[in-house]
């Protein structure tokens, strides 16, 4: 029984799909994807070793230290993959209307905030990443960026990406402050 083998990163297969971006230039997920693959491989190896350990315990019916049987995997080599993104145009958008296949958003050009240009556009819901779909609701705020990605190998691509913003959450203090203001306005403004 081999008990001291290392997690072999050379045998984690990286295929074309890993290196490709989501359809229609959506979120770049290469690093996340590889990270998940490495974690899965690690988990698989631990599970296999635990099975072996349990078998040994049953056979010998005597306590066995887990450190006798397995070793903590070490990184044999560090995998480095970086993709840089340089935006050339960005908007902040908020969702105005949602239809079956698309949503309409009002956009503020944040590349040129000085002129405060406001535009409107319709986006296919299919273009959103899975993580962003639950965030799609009227009033939801997102960032739409156009720009270039450059990989380690120097490959340059023109991309468009939409990322919904995870704004801070409403707090009790926000609500109490608003209630207090509302009470003040309602009591001090005199209407006929």
Q: Which residues contact another protein by CB under 8 A? A: 24-25, 88-89, 92-94, 96-97, 99, 102, 104, 106-110, 113, 116-124, 127, 135, 137-141, 146, 158, 160, 166-172, 174-175, 177-179, 181-186, 188-192
Whole-number minimum distance, CB 143 to another protein, in Å? 10
Contact assessment for residue 108 and residue 92, using Cβ atoms and an 8 Å cutoff: yes
- The nearer residue to another protein, 62 or 172, going by C-beta atoms, is 172
Provide φ and ψ at 57, rounded to 5°.
-65, -45
Q: Which residues contact 7 (CB under 8 A, 6 or more apart)?
A: 41, 42, 45, 73, 74, 75, 76
- The nearer residue to another protein, 30 or 162, going by C-beta atoms, is 162
- The nearer residue to another protein, 67 or 191, going by C-beta atoms, is 191
Whole-number minimum distance, CB 17 to another protein, in Å? 22
Q: Which string of b and e fits 49-69 if b means at least 16 CB within 10 Å?
A: beeebeeeeeeeeeeeeeeeb
Whole-number minimum distance, CB 81 to another protein, in Å? 24
Provide φ and ψ at 48, rounded to 5°.
-60, -40
- The nearer residue to another protein, 49 or 95, going by C-beta atoms, is 95
Whole-number minimum distance, CB 174 to another protein, in Å? 5
Tokens of 98: 């949602």
**Strand 156-164 and strand 141-150: pairing?**
antiparallel
Whole-number minimum distance, CB 185 to another protein, in Å? 5
Counting every residue, how long is the chain? 192
- The nearer residue to another protein, 79 or 94, going by C-beta atoms, is 94
């Amino acid at each position: 029984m081999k008990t001291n083998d290392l997690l072999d990163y050379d045998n984690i297969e990286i295929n074309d799909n890993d290196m490709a971006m989501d359809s229609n230039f959506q979120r770049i997920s290469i690093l996340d994807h590889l990270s998940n693959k490495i974690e899965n491989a690690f988990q698989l190896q631990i599970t296999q070793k635990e099975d072996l350990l349990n078998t040994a315990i049953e056979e010998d019916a005597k306590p066995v230290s887990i450190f006798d049987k397995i070793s903590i995997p070490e990184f044999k080599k560090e995998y480095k993959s970086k993709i840089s993104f340089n935006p050339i145009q960005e908007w902040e958008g908020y969702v105005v209307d949602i239809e079956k296949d698309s949503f309409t958003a009002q956009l503020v050009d944040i590349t040129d905030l000085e002129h405060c240009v406001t535009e409107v556009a319709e986006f296919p819901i299919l273009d959103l990443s899975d993580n962003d779909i639950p965030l799609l609701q009227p009033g939801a705020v997102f960032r739409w960026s156009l720009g270039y990605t450059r990989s380690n190998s120097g490959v340059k691509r023109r991309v468009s990406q939409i990322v919904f913003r995870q704004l801070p959450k409403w707090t009790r203090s926000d609500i109490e402050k608003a209630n207090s203001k509302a009470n003040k306005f309602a009591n001090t403004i005199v209407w006929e």
